[in-house]
Chain A
Amino acid sequence: MGILKTFTLGGVHPEENKLSSNTPIEVMSLPDQAIVPLGQNLGAPSKPIVKKGDKVKTGQLIAEAGGFISANIHSPVSGTVLKIDNLIGMSGFRRPSIVINTDGDEWEENIDRSANLVTEISDSSQEIVEKIKQAGLVGMGGATFPTFVKLMPPPGKKADYLIVNGVECEPYLTADHRLMLEKGQEIVVGTKILMKALKADKAIIGIENNKPDAISHMAELTRNEKNITVIPLKVKYPQGGERQLIKSTLNREVPSGKLPIEVGCVVQNVGTVFAVYEAVQKNKPLFERVVTVTGKSVKKPSNFLTRIGTPISKLVEAAEGLPENTGKIIGGGPMMGKALASLDVPVVKGSSGILLMPDEESHRKPESPCIRCSKCTQVCPMGLEPFLLARVSKVGKFDLAENEKIMDCIECGSCQYTCPANIPLLDYLRLGKSKVGNIIRNRKK
């Protein structure tokens, strides 16, 4: 195979713990009540178009995009709308959500439920983008950026490469891995659809080297495709970050403060690409996704195909129950996931996994003084100095933080992972970023 491609600046090697990589995707049964939050994407929350008492079908539009950077939301079940109320979501805060009492699983008529692979792409580029917009697709890697916006580059900018992100660098998560193994053909068609939408000539599928079966499977499927290449990548966190991925595969560095389109690339998560296939070829909007339920004490680590709005407690039950010694519930992976206060939150479009951490591993070690070892600087993939940024954010020198490029931080957590003194670097970095972000917004006004 030769030397594997990777990014050169920084990176760490957390334990991979891919406990569920050999577990096939299981279809989760419908919840009795679906709680669909209205804020499931980056940007403006969606506006509901149903009200209490309305009957809805699976796949029916129940909320419209609330702005340009926003997405439609479709009902994950069929039944009756119970209420639109403020309920606890993944964020930990009460946010407006639509609650639907499930009654069967009647789908919208125009959705093609057949299992056959549709390879011909009959829609034009504009039609594809419109279908993606109507289907409410967002980035499924966790960032939940509305997909159609990415497919509409600003005038004067063109993408020559589409990069499919099959890296899944977060430990424990295996949803993308299983999706590539089981729905590989659909993903290839989805890739071609996106290439047509972007008018990009070439596509790359980047997969980390700890998924050799996925690499060989996708390579086999794209053997006859001249324009799609599968590139195996060295296992290093955060390989899945879009800037690091572009650097590894194409050796192009996205300039600081700009988007990947500046270097002619658009990056899409492999789950998003699959959803694109379903939306364009089968008219199926986004209302379900694969969620990994995992953890060292979990009896049956699994990958579930779940409807949006299913409470996480149902998923945990299906993985044979909440382990006794659970100390932390994490929505996502251990490096960038969000700790949750309870299991009564619903699955949303960006939920890639639920990690149940045993109590022994759930606590932070005591903080000690910074010994200026510069290990945080050595591992930062963006070339920043976390020790400095955290310190100035803590004392409030936000202009200095801005000059030292705190806004470039991708919040990957490599610095805090490495720090020998257990300093909560990312906590202060996030604080600094939010304050500097506010200052910048106020300046523009």
Chain B
Amino acid sequence: MDNIIIISIVALGGIGLLSAVVLYFIKSKFKVFEDPRIDEVEEALPSANCGSCGFPGCRSFAETVVKSAKDNKSIEGLFCPVGGNDVMQNVGKIVGLEVEKTEPLIAVIRCNGTHTNSPGKIQYEGATSCAFTHALFTGEGGCQYGCLGHGDCVDACDFDAIHMNPETGLPVVNDKCTACGACVEACPRDIIELRKKGPKDRRIFVSCVNKEKGGPAKKNCSVACIGCGKCEKVCNFDAITITSFLAYIDFQKCTLCRKCVEVCPTSAIWEVNFKPRKPKPLKPEGSVERNPVPVKKPVTTTDQAKIDKVKVDSKTEENKKHNS
């Protein structure tokens, strides 16, 4: 019996040792030379493999960066939105090049057609997919440009940064947003836009994409942009343009002076994270929903739990609503 044990150990051990030696030689002989900096760059990247840099995966981005640094002596145009400026600075150090800092961007939902502002005029039943309902009908509120609330954007997000708020029926973006652009792609009505995050997280934008004339627009939603032009006139920085009865604020030119917000008759322009101003004369009651009170701190764990709860509730709400 002992013999067998010794023979087994020697035989198997010998095979193992032989394989190890053979494999070592094969590995050395067939080794592919790779610039070691590719591994270093890949280490520095966030490994989200989300594709928002435009390349299939972080490794591919790393290879492109190193190649571009070698061939063109510059990595202009290559940017990882998820890692942001910090990561790109590190990448720049690894390849020995200067990287310009870019302004951080965030996804912005340009619609305020909540259940109060744009009350439902018809009931929808069927597949919960914005891409489908977009072509089927205008939307429960009646506005054919407004948010449908089925959450294609929520499904598209890899970073848990966007969730549906069941009370308003609109998505909400939180601080985890890396501006990768997945939700922008997913929205069939082009409601989401990547805009500058702004100093202290402050930004101003027109929360409407309705291109109809004032009359039909307001019939469906009380906070629609009617294209009256007051904001365009009052802007001293040429940041606002009106096309097809819709105002648009160019975030590169906007200086956050807040004048346009004051003059908008339908409260279609939103200011986010500003200090509240002195109270103004009341707008027609029930129709205005101002943006929330300034959020001074980044999302904490309790906030995160609330958002998660909203996510779970909204899913079951959605299921209940569409399965009843």
Contact = CB atoms under 8 A, between A and B. Distances in A.
**Touching chains A and B, CB distance < 8 Å:** yes
Interface of A: 86, 92-94, 339, 341, 363-364, 366-367, 394, 424, 427-428, 430-431, 434-435
Interface stretch (B88-96, B122-130, B282-290): B122-130
Given A92-B136, A93-B137, A366-B324, 7 more contacts: A86-B213, A86-B216, A93-B138, A94-B216, A427-B126, A427-B127, A427-B129
Nearest to B132: A431
Contacts of A394: 127, 129
Contacts of B144: 92-94
B135 interface: yes
Given A92-B136, A341-B138, A367-B323, A86 B127 contact: no
20 contacts: A86-B212, A92-B136, A92-B137, A94-B144, A341-B121, A341-B122, A341-B137, A341-B138, A363-B125, A364-B125, A366-B324, A367-B323, A394-B129, A427-B127, A427-B132, A428-B127, A431-B131, A431-B132, A434-B131, A434-B135
Contacts of A435: 131
Nearest to A395: B155
Contacts of B121: 341
A428 B129 contact: yes
Interface of B: 121-122, 125-127, 129, 131-132, 135-138, 142, 144, 212-213, 216, 323-324
A424 B127 contact: yes
A431 B122 contact: no
A431 B212 contact: no
Nearest to A340: B137
B124 to A, nearest CB: 9
Contact of A428 (B132, B213, B323): B132
B212 A94 contact: yes
Given A94-B144, A366-B324, A431 B138 contact: no
Q: Which of B126, B127, B216 has the most CB of A within 10 A?
A: B127
Contacts of A339: 137
A364 B131 CA distance: 20
A339 B123 CA distance: 11
A394 to B, nearest CB: 7
A339 to B, nearest CB: 8
Contacts of B138: 92-93, 341
A413 to B, nearest CB: 12
A48 B129 CA distance: 36
A364 B321 CA distance: 12
Contacts of A86: 212-213, 216
Contacts of B129: 394, 427-428, 431
B35 to A, nearest CB: 34
A363 B322 CA distance: 10
A339 B324 CA distance: 19
A424 B128 CA distance: 10
Contacts of A366: 323-324
A254 B110 CA distance: 47
Nearest to A427: B127
Contacts of A93: 137-138, 144
A430 B132 contact: yes
A341 B137 CA distance: 8
A363 B135 CA distance: 20
A435 B121 CA distance: 28
Contacts of B125: 363-364
B150 to A, nearest CB: 11
Contacts of A363: 125
